[in-house]
Structure 1
């Protein structure tokens, strides 16, 4: 990446919450994400993925740099080779898309990583 571009577009630091989403029928598949309003994001994801039983299983306390924390948790889970590609059809789309933000771990493990690093 060009260093000049980096200086012009610095990474935006945002406050927010890191959360763990879990499906009722597949409790070992979780999605770790971040949002300023986890409940609104949950409703959006329920529609986007057509998963009415999707639930928030854990939300961290509010953190100052929510994107960095989310990236750190993803890096740890990816290192453990626990990523699961998830295919879905968006409500307005006709072709399948693949989301790589789902992990095959127990939600308590993902929640513990958030608790450790959110301090």
Structure 2
């Protein structure tokens, strides 16, 4: 009886051996998504007395293209602006505002965040 149980378990497990897992997430896509993690959000008050350089203005957006999609999230627009700041070589971001718009060209609803990409000289 014991040998039958072992044989049955081996047969069951071997049936799954040919199965694979396909994903649309590539290692490059993961790096792209998380590269904004190195960009810290700052308020102007937090930067008083801190040595930093402004690299330029930056924007990030989240857009609802189709009616059946979920409305855009501010968190997605903030993640996008942080990735754009990272592309500029920034390690910090002064977030000016995030505004929600309706009926924009190409978007049913859009969240647009604006700010300044900065490099903070850390001691």
Bigger helix fraction: 1
Give me the TM-score of the superposition, normalised by structure 1: 0.25
Q: Considering only CA atoms, is the larger Rg found in Structure 1 or Structure 2?
A: 2
Bigger strand fraction: 2
